[in-house]
């Protein structure tokens, strides 16, 4: 284990038998027509949950779906069905109330309990320090019922949310297998770039993506493939389309233009798009995009081109990711973030 990862305790460092483990999972998934789609992250979290269960831990799963106010903000009832196909569990549509606390108290060794969407609790996402979150009702009601806290949700590890920073203040804490794997991959990407090195970047938060792009370009990355709203933003910033980007992205145009100049030919942008015409999907080249047409998805041809670039950028963990996962992520993540 590297010196950096030695700073983290993993589940190997705990005797979990007979202990109640609060397990922060990442079950947040794509929702299509109100239906939660099975994602690789659910399968990966299930592996750590199963391992803890087999070691006779009482596993209480904490997870979220969407953000309050958006269309993907749902209960975890469907997630319980999907996760339940991979590991035996019980689901309770409660988080810190009597039903949840009684269910936790009555757990037997090896059992798994999934609580409802923790973002139903407004205090979960409040802008607070770890010390303040540790005093929240969320933490003070559940922590006394648990012995260990394990974080396996890499995608939210940077957030100062109650479920991420509050519990480690009052419980013995460590990371799960998925988090361990992601940290190793991040370490390789940052400290020991292998050639060829390709970054696939999308998402809805330009400042964070820009930081990564600037770092990668400085480190000598071979290619950066843009997708989703980030791809659309770069198209607009470099004058390739007349599309008016979302208002919340206006402030990012100048920085995107500077990064594009810095990256030169190493940054790849979408060269074709999918738009909605009379309620139907239509794929068109960039020179046919009009300012009134919303771009909402990556097209098949670009997916295939990006996949080919990634297939040629083999890394040491390619076998572990079963080859096609990275390729599927391009299309799925772009579809979700657009």
Final residue of a domain: which of 181, 216, 237?
A: 181
**Is the same domain home to 261 and 311?**
yes
On whether residue 186 sits in a domain, the answer given is no
Place of tokens 């030169």: 264
Residues 216 and 92 in one domain: no
Domain membership flag for residue 188: no
Q: Are residues 160 and 203 in the same domain?
A: no
Binding-site residue numbers for (2R)-3-phosphoglycerate are: 41, 119, 159
pLDDT per position as a tens digit, 262-287: 888 899 887 767 776 777 777 777 77
Average pLDDT over the chain reads 83
Give the H or E element holding residue 291: none
Task: State whether 162 and 283 are in the same domain.
Answer: no
How many domains in the chain? 2
Same domain, 51 and 73: yes
With cut-offs at 50, 70 and 90, classify the pLDDT of residue 321: very low
Q: Cα(146)–Cα(234) distance, rounded to whole angstroms?
A: 47
Identify whether residues 147 and 37 lie together within a single domain.
yes
Q: How is residue 48 written in tokens?
A: 């750590």
Dump pLDDT digits (tens) for 20-37: 999 999 999 989 999 999
Looking at the fold, whether 60 and 146 belong to one and the same domain comes out as yes
- Which domain range does residue 84 map to? 5-181
In a domain, 301, yes or no: yes
Whole-number percent of the chain with pLDDT over 70: 78
Beta strand pairing status for 148-151 and 198-201?
unpaired
Residue 201, H or E segment: strand 198-201
Residues 3-33: b if buried by 16+ CB within 10 A, e if exposed = eeeeeeebbeebebeebbbbbbbbbbbebee
Residues annotated within the binding site are 26-28, 41, 64-67, 119, 159
Would you say 170 and 143 are in contact if contact means Cβ atoms under 8 Å apart? yes
Put simply, whether the predicted model's pTM sits higher than 0.85 gets the answer: no
* Whether 14 and 138 share a structural domain: yes
Co-location of 41 and 168 in the same domain? yes
CB 121 within 8 A of CB 166: no
pLDDT computed for residue 61 by the predictor: 99
Indicate if 302 and 227 belong to the same structural domain.
yes
DSSP 248: G
Burial degree of 75 (CB within 10 A; 0-12, 13-18, 19+):
middle
Give the residue numbers of the binding site for substrate: 26-28, 64-67
User: What average pLDDT does range 111-127 have in this prediction?
Assistant: 97
Of residues 303 and 109, more confidently modeled:
109
Q: What is the pLDDT of residue 293?
A: 52
Is residue 160 helix, strand or coil?
coil
In a domain, 91, yes or no: yes
**pLDDT grade for 119, boundaries at 50, 70 and 90:** very high
Residues 205 and 160 both lie in one domain: no
* Distance between CA atoms of residues 173 and 325, nearest Å: 30
Pick from 161, 181, 201: which residue ends a domain? 181
Both 23 and 142 in one domain: the answer is yes
CATH of the domain at 256: 3.40.50.1260
Cis, bond preceding 196 (omega within 30 deg of 0): yes
3-state DSSP percent of the chain in helix, strand and coil, to 5: 45, 15, 40
């Amino acid at each position: 284990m590297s010196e950096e990862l030695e700073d983290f305790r993993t589940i190997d460092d705990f005797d979990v038998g007979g202990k109640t483990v609060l397990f922060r999972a990442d079950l947040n998934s794509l929702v299509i027509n109100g239906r939660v789609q099975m994602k690789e992250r659910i399968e990966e979290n299930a592996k750590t949950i199963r391992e803890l269960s087999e070691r006779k831990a009482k596993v209480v799963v904490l997870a979220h779906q969407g953000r309050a106010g958006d269309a993907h903000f749902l209960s975890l009832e469907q997630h319980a069905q999907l996760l339940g196909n991979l590991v035996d569990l019980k689901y309770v549509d409660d988080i810190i109330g009597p039903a949840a606390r009684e269910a936790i108290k009555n757990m037997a060794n090896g059992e798994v309990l999934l609580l409802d969407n923790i973002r139903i609790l407004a205090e979960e996402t409040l802008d607070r320090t770890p010390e303040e979150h540790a005093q929240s009702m969320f933490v003070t009601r559940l922590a006394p019922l648990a012995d260990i806290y394990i974080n396996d949700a890499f995608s939210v590890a940077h957030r100062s949310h109650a479920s991420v920073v509050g519990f480690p203040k009052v419980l013995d804490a460590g990371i799960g297998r998925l988090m361990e794997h992601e940290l190793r991959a991040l370490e390789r990407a940052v400290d020991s770039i292998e050639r060829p090195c390709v970054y696939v970047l999308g998402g809805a938060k330009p400042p964070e993506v820009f930081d990564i792009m600037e770092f990668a370009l400085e480190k000598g990355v071979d290619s950066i493939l843009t997708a989703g709203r980030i791809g659309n933003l770069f198209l607009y910033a470099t004058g390739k389309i007349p599309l008016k980007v979302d208002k919340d992205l206006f402030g990012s145009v100048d920085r995107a233009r500077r990064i594009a100049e810095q990256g030169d030919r190493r940054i790849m942008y979408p060269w074709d798009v999918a738009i909605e015409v009379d309620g139907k999907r239509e794929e068109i080249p960039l020179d046919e995009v009009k300012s009134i047409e919303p771009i909402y998805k990556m097209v098949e041809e670009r997916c295939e081109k990006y996949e080919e670039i990634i297939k040629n950028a083999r890394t040491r963990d390619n076998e572990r990711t079963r080859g096609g996962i990275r390729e599927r992520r391009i299309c799925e993540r772009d579809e979700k973030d657009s």
